[in-house]
A and B are shown apart, each in its own frame.
Chain A
């Protein structure tokens, strides 16, 4: 989606040395910033939908990931949090050779492989483009054909979206929310597969980057260097201030929700099928809201008559 100049918000330059209190962890977001993030998130979901509509049985994960990357570049993305990922079949459930703990959970299963898509095989597309300095990180799942387990997982993912928002609004500690997600998984009979992500991440911080006008930026091992640097900087600052840019069930996340943007990605697994969504959650000093309700998973829940859910589990 092309951006108008007006949509590009003021770039907030952060300096870790200036931020000394937790309240200042991230300077207040301006309305223009939210528009910028929303545009990036729409771009990412448009990319996933456009790619998914062209997917055919026989394609490999690498081919699909490459198509997503080309689409994003063509539509104005200049950087990324990570390059697009695509997982097919049982790889959506992140089972097997996963989570080499010694590497901090660095997980080779992330990288798109040579698995070929078949009919009725679930797939997940995950991309995180940066547009004009604003980064989004999304997850999108689907199937060519039918998959009852995937449908059930995708239906149930609604409860997680509501539960997380409700507890963040209640200012519950992030670790507690993460454990509530684990408990909901247990009640549902699912495995929380986001535990296979690096650092068992349920969510991670997203910061604004400089819009330096360059067409492309460095990635190392498929991760965008600028975005990851921000995360590392947050980690350093968070260690001093008592918060954690990686939101998981550990003691480090035992703090109130920090204002700013969080890419939240509950990933459920049942047997050989995994499903997720990933969206930006906007946390302010005293409230929180999902950046955009016009996303594919919400449209799907509406179509299936599941939206709005009366209350979270």
Chain B
């Protein structure tokens, strides 16, 4: 992609090519905040094209080619690439594009490394309002981190060092004389898009016009700075609000490298995203959303609930789902409670919804033991009005949830001819209606707030396992499965993930409360306790379903059967549907 240079800024004897998006405000209107984007290696400002475009509606966006890259000058001397010169370049750009107001700085990769230098040294004091860092630590912080790990007697700490070294082999390679620049010159243009496609899954990448040159010159960034800073790190702190965007799929940085950051950055927010190292290219909208959310907070002082949860004050690694808000229906017992607890243990805040007040509150209490916030709400998911009022409370308090688990359900068994209209009505209202309401209300909030959320619908292996005497229940679950399949297709464009969970015979109190129609009260009780015993013998724990739900969210799975019987029946229904239909005729009811 070729972008037009909007202005040239001089920094010492270096000329910097600057690109701008989103016009500055007209006279008399409120000035828009200025966002300055700093690219990494071996990129040029063009890496920001998508992100800048997405931000340009509401902000003045500026990117520039760092010295040695794109259309900026390329000093020959390695020492010209020392961090202090890069900070001078940034200062020159900031002064040129935003003489009156401090800017919001965003750095990626080497752009992030040099921006750390800029926010932790006095040169730009008062000129930077906030900083969003992606995939590049302060070299001094990395040096301190390394030193602490090497001095530690803990094997885990030592392993972390080895792990990071394994991820940064190329730094060593870049220090080899001749080789790296030569390789870039020979093969850069062809290699780079291939490497992005292979490692990052970015299919439509094209090398920028100066790719080979950028790669060859940029090697000097490593040679001029890495050895000195890692070997003799200095204490670097900043009071500027910093947002760390951590891509979980980064092949070049290990997560442990950020563990100590709160020691040096008291005003820190962290947001983990499902993306790889080149997230500005692969997920420009996501990156733009994270930047916008943080800039808006720093500008207005109003901290949205999700950002409040992203605040980090103590060293260590945030738990896997830290900062997320999860709503679970039927959270008072069974899968629902276990799922609530599993999310809470993984650091997520939880809204526990159940028809039973005491049970919902109990789940919330247990969640709080994991040091997260938890709320209990009493709602009958079969009551559309009650669901709407739940959603409006969620909207008002939090905007949207990150994960909704539509889990609440009831059991019903017995002959089709004994199943009354009222029975059908009840099963469909709760098992299907509840999922419809939950998906619609919370899905709409996710779309509206641009949340890349997850809708998890708990169906059953009954969704694809025909069985006589299970007509109502299995129909409701089959409908949930199809609903989820359709919804998944519709929500794909909003990056909202939909999962269907199909548990096998798991022990929950649904067996004790399942209604068996067409039998006497005594017979009903016998069947309930027989069913419970059968399920107990199978011993598929609700914890297993909870684990599957978390995994489905983490891996964006579409459909997850849980338990060997659920997998087996699924295979049967797909490969030998005739046999599946024959088996359905067996009277397996207790």
Complex Cα distance, B358 from A255, in Å, reads 32
Decide if A187 is an interface residue (CB 8 Å cutoff). Answer: yes
With A189-B337, A189-B341 in contact, is A152–B369 under 8 Å at CB?
Answer: yes
Contact A149 B369 (CB under 8 A): yes
Complex Cα distance, B507 from A186, in Å, reads 12
Contact with B along A145-159 (1 / 0, CB 8 A): 000110010000000
Decide if B359 is an interface residue (CB 8 Å cutoff). Answer: yes
Decide if A247 is an interface residue (CB 8 Å cutoff). Answer: no
Complex Cα distance, B545 from A39, in Å, reads 50
CB neighbours of B358 from chain A (8 A)? 187
CB distance from A243 to the nearest CB of B (A): 25
Decide if B525 is an interface residue (CB 8 Å cutoff). Answer: no
Contact B369 A270 (CB under 8 A): yes
User: What interface size band does chain B fall in?
Assistant: 10 to 19
Q: How many A-B residue pairs have CB under 8 A?
A: 20
Size of the A side of the interface (Cβ < 8 Å), in residues, is: 9
Checking B345, B366, B371, B509 against A189 with a beta-carbon cut-off of 8 angstroms, the contacting residue is B366
Contact B362 A148 (CB under 8 A): no
Contact A152 B365 (CB under 8 A): yes
CB neighbours of A189 from chain B (8 A)? 337, 341, 362-363, 366
Complex Cα distance, B146 from A23, in Å, reads 74
CB neighbours of A188 from chain B (8 A)? 362
Complex Cα distance, B345 from A187, in Å, reads 19
CB distance from B376 to the nearest CB of A (A): 13
Checking B333, B341, B369 against A148 with a beta-carbon cut-off of 8 angstroms, the contacting residue is B369
CB distance from A153 to the nearest CB of B (A): 9
Complex Cα distance, B333 from A189, in Å, reads 8
Q: In the complex, what residue of chain B is closest to A153 when comparing beta carbons?
A: B369
Q: In the complex, what residue of chain A is closest to B358 when comparing beta carbons?
A: A187
- Where chain B touches its partner, the secondary structure class is helix
CB neighbours of A152 from chain B (8 A)? 365-366, 369
Which residues of B17-34 have CB atoms within 8 Å of chain A's CB atoms? none
Contact A187 B365 (CB under 8 A): no
CB neighbours of A186 from chain B (8 A)? 333, 509
Contact B359 A270 (CB under 8 A): no
Which residues of A125-175 have CB atoms within 8 Å of chain B's CB atoms? 148-149, 152
CB distance from B518 to the nearest CB of A (A): 28
CB neighbours of B345 from chain A (8 A)? 271
Contact A187 B362 (CB under 8 A): yes
CB neighbours of B369 from chain A (8 A)? 148-149, 152, 270
Contact B359 A187 (CB under 8 A): yes
CB distance from A307 to the nearest CB of B (A): 20
CB distance from B183 to the nearest CB of A (A): 51
CB neighbours of B509 from chain A (8 A)? 186
Contact with A along B348-389 (1 / 0, CB 8 A): 000000000011001101100101000000000000000000
Q: In the complex, what residue of chain A is closest to B367 when comparing beta carbons?
A: A189
Complex Cα distance, B368 from A270, in Å, reads 13
CB neighbours of B362 from chain A (8 A)? 187-189
CB neighbours of A270 from chain B (8 A)? 366, 369
CB neighbours of A187 from chain B (8 A)? 358-359, 362
Which residues of A264-286 have CB atoms within 8 Å of chain B's CB atoms? 270-271
CB distance from B525 to the nearest CB of A (A): 15
CB neighbours of B359 from chain A (8 A)? 187
CB distance from A178 to the nearest CB of B (A): 16
Complex Cα distance, B365 from A213, in Å, reads 52
Complex Cα distance, B333 from A78, in Å, reads 48
CB neighbours of B363 from chain A (8 A)? 189
Complex Cα distance, B341 from A152, in Å, reads 15
CB neighbours of A149 from chain B (8 A)? 369
Which residues of B313-366 have CB atoms within 8 Å of chain A's CB atoms? 333, 337, 341, 345, 358-359, 362-363, 365-366
Q: In the complex, what residue of chain B is closest to A190 when comparing beta carbons?
A: B366
CB distance from A175 to the nearest CB of B (A): 15
Complex Cα distance, B217 from A197, in Å, reads 70
CB neighbours of A148 from chain B (8 A)? 369, 371
CB neighbours of B371 from chain A (8 A)? 148
Q: In the complex, what residue of chain A is closest to B333 when comparing beta carbons?
A: A186
Complex Cα distance, B345 from A177, in Å, reads 32
CB distance from A101 to the nearest CB of B (A): 13
Q: In the complex, what residue of chain A is closest to B362 when comparing beta carbons?
A: A189
* Interface-central residue, B333, B363, B366, B509, by most chain A CB under 10 Å: B366
CB distance from A271 to the nearest CB of B (A): 8
Q: In the complex, what residue of chain A is closest to B345 when comparing beta carbons?
A: A271
CB distance from A311 to the nearest CB of B (A): 14
Complex Cα distance, B345 from A147, in Å, reads 15
CB distance from A130 to the nearest CB of B (A): 38
Complex Cα distance, B509 from A152, in Å, reads 24
Complex Cα distance, B159 from A278, in Å, reads 44
Q: In the complex, what residue of chain A is closest to B338 when comparing beta carbons?
A: A189
Contact with B along A216-246 (1 / 0, CB 8 A): 0000000000000000000000000000000
Q: In the complex, what residue of chain B is closest to A271 when comparing beta carbons?
A: B345
CB distance from A87 to the nearest CB of B (A): 20
Contact with B along A175-207 (1 / 0, CB 8 A): 000000000001111000000000000000000
Complex Cα distance, B359 from A186, in Å, reads 10
Q: In the complex, what residue of chain B is closest to A273 when comparing beta carbons?
A: B369
* Interface-central residue, A186, A188, A189, by most chain B CB under 10 Å: A189
Contact with A along B84-119 (1 / 0, CB 8 A): 000000000000000000000000000000000000
Complex Cα distance, B344 from A149, in Å, reads 14
CB distance from A272 to the nearest CB of B (A): 10
CB neighbours of B365 from chain A (8 A)? 152
CB distance from A88 to the nearest CB of B (A): 19
CB distance from B437 to the nearest CB of A (A): 26
Which residues of B461-511 have CB atoms within 8 Å of chain A's CB atoms? 509
4 residue pairs, one from A and one from B, having the closest CB atoms: A149-B369, A189-B366, A148-B369, A189-B362
A-B contact pairs, 20 of them (CB 8 A): A148-B369, A148-B371, A149-B369, A152-B365, A152-B366, A152-B369, A186-B333, A186-B509, A187-B358, A187-B359, A187-B362, A188-B362, A189-B337, A189-B341, A189-B362, A189-B363, A189-B366, A270-B366, A270-B369, A271-B345
Other A-B pairs beyond A152-B366, A187-B358, 4, CB < 8 Å: A148-B371, A186-B509, A187-B359, A270-B366
- Which of B's residues lie within 8 Å of A, judged by CB? 333, 337, 341, 345, 358-359, 362-363, 365-366, 369, 371, 509
